[in-house]
Each structure stands twice: as structure tokens, then as C-alpha cells.
């Protein structure tokens, strides 16, 4: 399973919430990976116009506020696709077999509906939603345990 999407959200939250500009090395330390992988993710986010950074200057910034960046934009930028594509149908079913003859049409509708539902869910969530959920979890963990 590809983890680029979750890493992208991780680094975007870091970029959004850090009071100073962060290097790819600092982000890699938080993600638990190497800085070259982070630079690849940052390059995809930059190409998707989600972040901005300049050569020779360490650090990145969001191109807009987190409330205006939805998770579908991030997903499409990171996965380098023009739309959500999660599921593939095998290429060469035997059309002389009754199952083989109809499997593509049966699965196409199911897979298309699943991908649409996934895209709609991502479009309805923003980077700000992720940040707010994280803040709530941090605040809940900071509360003293009482009986």
C-alpha cells in the first residue's frame, strides 16, 4: 500500500503549524523516513500548487489557508492522477466463460461507485479538519485522568 498520501498530510500539517520554516530533514524526522522521500512528496505538492518553496531557501509554506485545501486536492497531487483511481479490473477474463464474459461490466459499476464515494468524502474534508482533529486529540490527552 502506498503511503504518500498520509505522508503528504503529515508534512502539510507540519508546514501549517510550525512557527518557522522547516527543512526536509526536520520533516523527515517527524515522519520517520529519509529526507529524499520527503523532498519527492514536497515536489508533488509544489507541482499541485499546494505549497510553495524556493531553491536555495530552506522551508516551505502553504499557498493558501488550510480551510481551502481539501484532501481530494492533496490526493490527486500526490498520486499524480487527474481523478481518484483505487481499483483495477483484471485485463484478460475468458469471454467464453459466463463469469469471464460479464465480470468487467459487473465490477466496473461497483468500482466506479466506490471511487466516487471516496472522492466525495475527501472533497468534503480539509487540511484544517485534520489540524482541528489533531488539536482536539492533543487537548484530550493533556486532560488529567479523573474518576
Determine the Cα angle at 58 with ends 57 and 64, to 5°. 90
- Residue 52 pairs with which residues in a beta bridge? 61
Buried b (16+ CB within 10 A) or exposed e, 32-63: eeebebbbebbebbeebebbebeeeeeebebe
Whether the model pTM is above 0.85: yes
Q: What's the pLDDT tens digit per position in 33-46?
A: 999 999 999 999 99
Amino acid 57: pLDDT: 66
59-101 pLDDT per residue, tens: 899 999 999 999 999 999 999 888 888 889 999 999 999 999 9
Which one is predicted more confidently, 74 or 55?
A: 74
Amino acid at each position: 500500500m502506498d503511503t504518500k498520501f498520509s505522508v503528504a498530510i503529515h508534512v502539510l500539517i507540519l508546514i501549517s503549524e510550525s512557527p518557522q520554516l522547516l527543512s526536509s530533514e526536520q520533516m523527515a524526522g517527524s515522519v520517520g523516513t529519509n529526507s529524499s522521500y520527503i523532498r519527492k512528496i514536497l515536489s508533488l505538492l509544489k507541482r499541485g500548487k499546494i505549497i510553495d518553496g524556493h531553491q536555495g531557501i530552506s522551508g516551505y509554506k502553504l499557498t493558501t489557508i488550510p480551510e481551502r485545501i481539501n484532501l481530494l486536492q492533496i490526493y490527486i497531487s500526490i498520486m499524480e492522477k487527474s481523478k481518484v483511481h483505487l481499483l483495477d479490473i483484471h485485463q484478460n477474463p475468458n469471454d467464453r466463460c459466463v463469469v469471464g464474459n460479464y465480470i468487467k461490466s459487473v465490477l466496473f459499476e461497483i468500482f466506479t461507485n466506490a471511487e466516487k464515494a471516496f472522492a466525495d468524502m475527501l472533497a468534503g474534508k480539509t487540511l484544517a479538519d485534520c489540524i482541528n482533529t489533531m488539536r482536539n486529540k492533543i487537548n484530550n490527552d493533556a486532560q488529567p485522568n479523573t474518576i
